[in-house]
Amino acid sequence: MKIAAAALVAATALVVAGCGSSDSGSGNTVNWWTWDDKQAVAYGECEKAFEAANPGVDVKITRYNVDDYFTKLTAGFVAGTAPDAFQNSVQFLQAYASQHQLMPLDDLITKSSLDTKRYSVGLDTWKFTDGKQYALPLDWAASALYYNADMLAKAGVPEADVQKLTWNPDDGGTFEKVVARLTVDKNGRHGDEPGFDKTQIATYGIGAMAGRSFIGETSWAPFVNTLGWRLGDKDQWPTRFNYTDPRFTKTMKWVLSLTDRGFSPKLGTFTTGSQSTISDVDLIGSGKVAMTMGGSWSAPSFGKIPGVKVGIAPTVLGPDGTRSVLSNSNGNNIWAGTKNPDLTWRWVSYMGGEECQTRAGATGTFFPSIPAAMDNTVTSMKSQGVDLTVFNQYVKDGVLHPSTAYANGSAVQSAEQPLFEAYFAGQRSDDVFAEMERVSQEILAKN
């Protein structure tokens, strides 16, 4: 799931926790924090069940806005008042673990005979460079194609075709053909018709592909990954990002060509007066785009747009006929300074168990990492008119690959995203890729 850029600054100021009175659970109280309002409610159902099964135990769930969350967490580490356990993004694993703020879970896992093989997604992401396990996967996320079904029908594109789109960086495959067909200018001409005016677009065939993200989870990653490209020179804890790889540079040129031909909006096309970006949900709902790449966390919102039928299709099939989908998993950490490690572990391991994952996952606000619980989420959401089958099929087909854990996450993001933006805005040429790779190597090497 996405983490707001402003929140990343907090990790750069970490120091080892000093002395002080702890806000972590005392006696029979466990404090757990999250930045996700929906997950706070979902895991509230687990809280009730856990407390009922453990008389006298009090679990306190606190949710902070993501822009404040990591700042407050860092302040808690410094003051010795951090929560017993908390939701965390892998971007902060290196910072927190290297500062000894996280409790290794290996001994607790062994002592309680917890079967880690039950997790289909996310477990290995939370192993640090010391080889220790610092979190249980709290959820997982991936991307898919969301489309306006009525617009497909109007353009003569069968929904079945969108479920099996192919792609390659040379001619764009059937994906590009469908995108061209779905693009319509203000004179009613489609992108594949003579006289099409790329400067006067009424509906873009695909939402923003040229994005600021240096990871590309909900834009270009599911395309370039089908070529075998990966972000780092190592799957986890890389020493550089592979931005000069010909597969990457060729894909970026293709992405840029979509905006040049009017099939996809340029950066800044859809912004408000405050320069905040209009959401993809609103763009699909208003007919400004016919199809868009989006995160799994947005599925309930896409499925409930008033008066608009939105379908979900899997990411593209690459040249070898397979998909490759980047998956991010948030983790459930225990603070090293907790006064109640055993009780906190009891709560954290319960949250990571099938009973809680099934109970909380039924809300559809997150995807459980346990297959049976995920199946239940799909069934529950289908009854509400939201079909998550595409995402569950990723797991069954084994096409997910975990996001890369890397050092100095906030510094990397701050340095790389402006370079991406400059390239897609036409302010930098292909020479930017060598700079991006050099910058990543310098930042990843810093302690």
Same fold: 5-139+333-392 with 143-327+407-444: yes
Average pLDDT, the chain: 91
The distance of Cα 164 from the centroid of its chain, to the nearest Å, equals: 23
For the stretch 43-65, pLDDT in tens is 999 999 999 999 999 999 999 99
CA 338 remoteness from chain centre? 29
With 0.85 as the threshold, say if the pTM is over it: yes
What integer pLDDT is reported at residue 271 of this predicted model? 80
- pLDDT at site 187: 97
* pLDDT tens string 83-95: 999 999 998 999 9
The three-state DSSP-derived secondary structure of 77-144 is: HHHCCCCCEEEECHHHHHHHHHCCCECCCHHHHHHCCCCHHHCCCCCHHHECCCCCECCEECCEECEE
For residue 243, what is the DSSP state? T
Whether residue 425 has pLDDT greater than 50: yes
Q: Which pair of tokens denotes residue 369?
A: 């990492």
- Specify the CATH number of the domain 5-139+333-392: 3.40.190.10
Answer yes or no: is pLDDT of 15 > 50. Answer: no
Decide if pLDDT at 6 tops 50.
no
The answer to whether the CB of 346 falls within 8 A of the CB of 54 is yes
Classify strands 331-334 and 29-34 as parallel, antiparallel or unpaired. unpaired
> 224 and 216 in contact (C-beta within 8 Å)?
yes
**What is the structure's pLDDT at 17?**
35
Domain 143-327+407-444 has CATH 3.40.50.300: no
Going from N- to C-terminal start, the domains of the chain cover 5-139+333-392, 143-327+407-444
Per-residue confidence band for 312, with pLDDT thresholds at 50, 70 and 90: very high
141, pLDDT greater than 70: yes
Rounded mean pLDDT of 284-302?
A: 94
Confidence check: pLDDT of 11 > 50: no
CA torsion sign for 241, 424, 152, 142 is positive
Packing angle of the helix pair 37-53, 341-351 (nearest 10 deg): 120
Backbone φ and ψ for 344, nearest 5 degrees, come out as -65, -40
Rounded-to-integer distance, Cα 102 and Cα 96, Å: 6
For residue 274, pLDDT beyond 60: no
Contacts of 259 (CB under 8 A, 6+ apart): 209, 210, 265, 266, 424
Q: Which strands make up the sheet holding 291-295, listed edge to edge?
A: 291-295, 143-148, 310-313
pLDDT band, residue 420 (cuts 50/70/90): very high
**How does residue 272 score in pLDDT terms, banded at 50, 70 and 90?**
low
277: three-class secondary structure by DSSP: strand
Residue percentage of the chain with pLDDT more than 90? 83
Contact yes or no for 11/74 (Cβ under 8 A): yes
pLDDT at 91: 86
Higher-confidence residue: 24 or 146? 146
What one-character DSSP code corresponds to residue 402? E
Q: Is the pLDDT of residue 39 over 50?
A: yes
pLDDT for residue 12 is more than 50: no
- The yes-or-no verdict on residue 25 having pLDDT over 60 is no
